């Protein structure tokens, strides 16, 4: 894998992680309104459990992808230093 494609993969991973976090935040925000509009007695904590778990996973995905980007940038910097 070239350093440029690794960089692109890292950036795509960050993008996907942030989009997932936005979706999970929206699901959490809407959980309270959905629970109050339902006639069934459901606890709002169970409605937000799954989005919270996925939010944590998306955060880890973004962090791991940021490390890929950092490593790719370091590798490109080393290659430029070697050519100079």
Residue 75 clears pLDDT 80, i.e. is over it? yes
- At 20-61, the pLDDT tens digits run 999 999 999 998 776 566 555 556 567 899 999 999 999 999
Residue 81 clears pLDDT 70, i.e. is over it? yes
67, containing H or E segment: helix 44-83
- Its pTM stands at 0.80
Residue 43 has what pLDDT? 61
């Amino acid at each position: 894998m070239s350093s440029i494609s690794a960089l692109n993969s890292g950036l795509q991973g960050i993008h996907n992680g942030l989009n997932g976090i936005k979706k999970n935040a929206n699901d959490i925000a809407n959980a309270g309104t959905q629970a109050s509009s339902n006639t069934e007695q459901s606890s709002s904590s169970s409605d937000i459990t799954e989005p919270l778990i996925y939010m944590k996973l998306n955060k880890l995905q973004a962090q791991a992808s940021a490390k890929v980007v950092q490593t790719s940038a370091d590798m490109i910097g080393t290659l430029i230093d070697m050519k100079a």
